[in-house]
Amino acid sequence: MMPSGGHPGFIESFGYALQGIAAAWRRERNIKVMTGMGALAVVLGVALRVDAVGWAVIVVCIGMVLCAELLNSGIEAVVDLASPDIHPLAKLAKDYACAGVYLLSIAAAIAGCIIYGRALVALIAG
């Protein structure tokens, strides 16, 4: 039940967020792929004994990439609703959103290479 003013309560908002995550998991292949990549990043971090700063960067990168993909999926859904017919501006909006996820994923991969490379060198050096 919503409090007066029509806005959900603080706790209720978490429920909506969880519903959104569950819906994306059921409907969006890329969320599953990116979650798998995030899990792989965690396993690699454990195996390479990444330090605290590295873990902070890894966690932020995983969160940002998943968030970007959720926002991309949301933008695609709104565009499809607003423009069910093919339209050049609808395509442009979807392409921009997709490009944002792509660029963020590349940046996260580069950050990962730096962190894992440094951790590997430290592990080998003993």
pLDDT tens digit sequence for 70-82: 999 999 999 999 9
Q: How many domains does the chain have?
A: 1
**pLDDT at residue number 121:** 96
Asked, for residue 4, whether it belongs to a domain, the answer is no
Helix (H) or strand (E) holding 31: helix 29-47
Asked, for residue 107, whether it belongs to a domain, the answer is yes
DSSP symbol at 6: S
Asked, for residue 71, whether it belongs to a domain, the answer is yes
Asked, for residue 59, whether it belongs to a domain, the answer is yes
Contacts of 62 by beta carbon, 8 Å cutoff, 6+ apart: 38, 41, 42, 108
Asked, for residue 3, whether it belongs to a domain, the answer is no
Q: What are phi and psi of 37, to 5 degrees?
A: -65, -40
Asked, for residue 13, whether it belongs to a domain, the answer is no
Q: Can you give the pTM of this predicted structure?
A: 0.88
CATH number of domain containing 112: 1.10.287.3610
Domain extent for 39: 32-125
pLDDT tens digit sequence for 7-50: 888 899 999 999 999 999 999 999 999 999 999 999 999 999 99
Average pLDDT over residues 105-116: 98
